């Protein structure tokens, strides 16, 4: 079985015949140098399927679905609310957070956020590639950038607040409900005092200090997700 995995957003079913888009066709034919009758896999939130290449015409790959390899996954929703940062660091952060199981990214523009615009198409491409490489089926969703007030209007999540001023260093699993768990990471200049007060007033929030040292945003993300994953699993 080939280890080539590609995300396919449309419906997949046994014996269906379809074509890959231009970019994916180029990747298979020019980068991976696949040939007719070779197999690879396609996946989306409904599962993963084995596909066989029927032909390559005008640089477009035509394929046929052979069989289903994996059913859709039912996993605990794990969200990451984060401040946009410089692209290289942000790309790394998204890749690692995807590998670690984040199911939704929520960019937030805080008072001290430096990078105040995001390229959502670019971010979606990064998480798709990370999902392909890490054997995930569910590709994380990415919300539009929002302010803190809009984010805190969501009452359907258990919030983990990474707070440098907290004296608590453990997550209390008994406080989790059946809602998604959301980790909120501040900007490079940390949360403002007003923002801290707003977050701490959120119903059911758990403030934790994830490290005695001051961490870079991308390091804080990896650390916090690892801690929460350990508690959940």
The tens digit of pLDDT for each residue in 78-137 reads 999 999 999 999 999 999 999 999 999 999 999 999 999 999 999 999 999 999 999 999
Q: How many domains does the chain have?
A: 2
Clarify whether residues 38 and 126 are in a common domain.
Answer: no
> Phi and psi (nearest 5°) for 222?
-60, -45
Cα distance between residue 168 and residue 165, in whole Å: 9
Query: Which of 172, 166, 155, 164 has the alpha carbon at shortest distance from 228?
Result: 172
Predicted pLDDT of residue 1: 44
| 180 and 94 inside one domain | yes
Q: What is the dihedral of CA 151, 95, 158, 192, to 10 degrees?
A: -50
| pLDDT score for 2 | 60
Token representation of residue 56: 């390559």
Same-domain check for residues 118 and 182:
yes
Residues 186 and 118 grouped into a single domain: yes
Same domain, 113 and 163: yes
The CATH code of the domain that includes 83 is: 3.40.1280.10
- In the predicted model, what is the mean pLDDT of the chain? 92
The answer to whether residues 148 and 177 touch, using CB atoms and an 8 Å cutoff, is no
CB within 8 Å of 59: residues ≥ 6 apart: 22, 25, 26, 29, 30
The CATH number linked to 25 is: 2.40.240.20
Domain shared by 99 and 182, yes or no: yes
Residue 20 sits in which domain range? 5-71
Residues 45 and 62 in one domain: yes
Question: Do 125 and 97 have their domain in common?
Answer: yes
Looking at 71, 102, 117, which one is the last position of a domain? 71
Successive 10-residue mean pLDDT values, the chain, 233 residues: 85 94 94 93 94 93 95 88 94 96 97 92 96 94 96 92 88 90 92 95 92 87 94 85
Q: Are residues 42 and 151 in the same domain?
A: no
């Amino acid at each position: 079985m080939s280890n080539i995995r590609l995300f396919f957003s449309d419906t997949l079913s046994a014996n269906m015949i379809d074509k890959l888009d231009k970019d994916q066709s180029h990747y298979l034919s020019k980068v991976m140098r696949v040939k007719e009758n070779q197999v690879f896999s396609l996946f989306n939130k409904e599962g993963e399927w084995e596909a066989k290449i029927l032909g390559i015409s005008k640089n477009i790959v035509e394929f046929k679905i052979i069989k289903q390899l994996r059913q859709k996954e039912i996993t605990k929703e794990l969200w990451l609310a984060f401040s946009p940062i410089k692209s290289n660091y942000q790309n790394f952060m998204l890749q690692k957070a995807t590998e670690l199981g984040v199911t939704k990214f929520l960019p937030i523009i805080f008072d001290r956020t430096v990078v105040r615009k995001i390229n959502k198409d670019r971010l979606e491409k990064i998480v798709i590639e990370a999902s392909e490489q890490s054997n995930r089926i569910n590709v994380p969703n990415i919300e539009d950038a929002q302010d803190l007030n809009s984010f805190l209007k969501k009452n359907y999540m258990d919030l983990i607040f990474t707070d440098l001023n907290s004296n608590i260093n453990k997550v209390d699993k008994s406080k989790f409900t059946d809602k998604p768990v959301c980790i909120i990471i501040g900007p490079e200049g940390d949360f403002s005092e007003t923002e801290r007060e707003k977050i701490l007033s959120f119903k059911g929030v758990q403030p934790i200090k994830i490290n005695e040292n001051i961490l870079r945003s991308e390091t804080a993300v990896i650390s916090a997700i690892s801690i929460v994953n350990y508690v959940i699993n």
